[in-house]
């Protein structure tokens, strides 16, 4: 496999941009304005890794909420309801790996 490098800052799709379309593991850049959220959804058969590189996300996972701040990484099961909300303008890199 040949290495591929993508400039996250050059991705313009909002709120989701795919740095490596059609490739596994699925990789998504999430960009949310303060107070913006993504409706509850699931990624069955996936483990999600969320690296917040700017801002702060409150990620609702089922009945629980975890706060992920700049420089932090969270890992969770994609089979539950997932709804990220930006506490402030935020950007994160999500990797959705097959279980």
pLDDT tens digits for the chain (99 residues)?
Answer: 789 898 888 888 888 899 988 899 999 999 999 999 999 999 999 999 999 999 999 999 999 999 999 999 999 999 999 999 999 999 999 999 999
The full set of domains in the chain, from first to last, is 32-92 (2.60.120.10)
Which residue from 57, 10, 12 is spatially nearest to 38, judged by alpha carbons? 57
pTM above 0.95, yes or no: no
58, β-bridge pairs? 67, 85
- Model confidence over 60-80: pLDDT tens digits? 999 999 999 999 999 999 999
Residues 1-32 as b/e (b if ≥16 CB within 10 A, e otherwise) read eeeeeeeeeebeeebebebeeeeeebbbbbbb
Cα(42)–Cα(95) distance, integer angstroms:
14
């Amino acid at each position: 496999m040949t290495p591929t490098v993508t400039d996250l800052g050059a991705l313009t799709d909002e709120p989701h941009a795919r740095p490596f379309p059609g490739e596994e593991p699925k990789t998504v850049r999430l960009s949310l304005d303060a107070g913006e959220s993504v409706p509850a959804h699931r990624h069955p058969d996936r483990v999600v890794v969320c690296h917040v590189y700017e801002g702060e996300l409150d990620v609702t996972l089922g009945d629980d909420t975890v706060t992920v701040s700049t420089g932090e990484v969270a890992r969770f099961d994609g089979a539950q309801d997932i709804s990220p909300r930006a506490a402030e303008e935020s950007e994160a890199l999500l990797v959705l790996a097959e279980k």
